[in-house]
Amino acid sequence: MGLMKLNYRSEILGSFVNVTIVFPTDMMTVSGREGRFPYDKKMRFQTIYLLHGGGEDDSTVIRYTNAEAYAQRNCVMLVLPSLPNSFFLDTDYGVKSGTFLTDELPKVVQSLFASSPERNDNFIMGYAMGGSGALAAAIRRPDLYRACIDISGGVPIGLNLDLLKGILSRGESPLRIYEKTFLPPDQLDGSIYDLSYILKKGLADGLEYPDFTLICGSEEGIILDWMKAEYQILKDSGAVAEMKVMEGYGHEMPLWDHSLGAAMDEWLPLTRKPVYPEE
C-alpha cells in the first residue's frame, strides 16, 4: 500500500487539517504481472472514510490497528481525517466538522486521488467517537455512502434524542466540549442534531439510505445498552440495519482492530479490485 500525509487549508474549517490517505499499490503493475491489476490513468478505487476515536487523530488508527494491511488485501482506499474531539459534527460554537467531512473532504479526495465518486464505491466507518460520527454522517448525507459501520459508538449524538437530552440536562459528560457541541436540550427537537427526525423524514421522502451495521463488545456495559437502543431506532424507522455483539470484548483497541479487519474482509460489499472506465 501507499501512504500519504495530506495537510491543506480547509475552507470550511478555516484552518489547516491533516488527512492520511492509504491507497493500493502492491496489487498494481506496469509490466503485466499475472494476478495483479494494471495501472490506468482513469482507474479509480473504492474508498472507505475511516474515523478515529475520541482523544485520537488520524495517526492513531494507523499506529494501533492493522487497517493498512486490511485495506491492502482488499484493494480499497482509506481516507482518515484528523478531527480530534470534534464528534465529527457541526458544533453550536461554530466549528463545522460535519460539513467538512461530508461536503468538502470527498471533493478534495476525489480531485487529488484515484477515488471513485460513485455512491456504491464509498463507505464510512469508525470506532468509539468515530463510530458515532460515521453514523451521523451517513444519516445526514445518505447520498454519499453505500454502507456505514459504527463500531462501539460510545458517544450519544442525537439518534437517541432522549438519551442525549438527559446527559446534557444533567451535565453528566466528562468533556465540557461535548456539552458545548450541541444546542440546549430544549432546542434539539427537529434540529441538525436530531438524527432520528432526519432519518425518518429522509425515509418518508424516499431517500435511499446506506446499510447500517452496529458493532459492540459484550463487555462494553452502558455503551452496549446505548447501541442496542440505537439499533432499535434504526429498525423501527425502516432502515436496513444489523447489529453484531462481539463476545468477550470491551471498549478497547483489540475489538476495533478485529472489527476493521472483518468489515473489509466480510461485512462491506467491496469489489476488491480497481474500478476501470470500461466497467
The pLDDT profile of the chain, 279 residues, written as one tens digit per residue, is 899 999 999 999 999 999 999 999 988 888 777 778 888 889 999 999 999 999 999 999 999 999 999 999 999 999 999 999 999 999 999 999 999 999 999 999 999 999 999 999 999 999 999 999 999 999 999 999 999 999 999 788 999 999 999 999 988 776 788 889 999 999 999 999 999 999 999 999 999 999 999 999 999 999 999 999 999 999 999 999 999 999 999 999 999 999 999 999 999 999 999 998 765
Cell of 39: 495501472
Count, residues in the chain: 279
Query: In 10 A of CB 272, how many CB atoms?
Result: 13
- Residues 230, 160 contacting (CB under 8 angstroms): yes
Tens digits of residue pLDDT in 157-192: 999 999 999 999 988 776 788 889 999 999 999 999
CA 16 to chain centre: 21
Q: In angstroms, rounded to a whole number, what is the distance separating the alpha carbons of residues 249 and 271?
A: 29
Q: What is the pLDDT of residue 279?
A: 58
The answer to whether domain 2-267 has CATH 3.40.50.1820 is yes
Sequence-distant contacts of 110-114: CB under 8 A, at least 24 apart:
112/6, 113/21, 113/23, 113/77, 114/23, 114/43, 114/44, 114/45, 114/77, 114/274
Determine if residue 70 is left, alpha or beta; phi over 0 gives left, psi from -120 to 50 gives alpha, anything else beta.
alpha
Alpha carbons 216 and 247: distance in angstroms, whole number: 9
Cross-strand bridge partners of residue 51: 126
pLDDT at 256: 98
Q: What is the pTM of this model?
A: 0.96
Q: What's the gap between Cα 54 and its chain centre? A: 13
Distance CA 24, CA 33 (A): 16
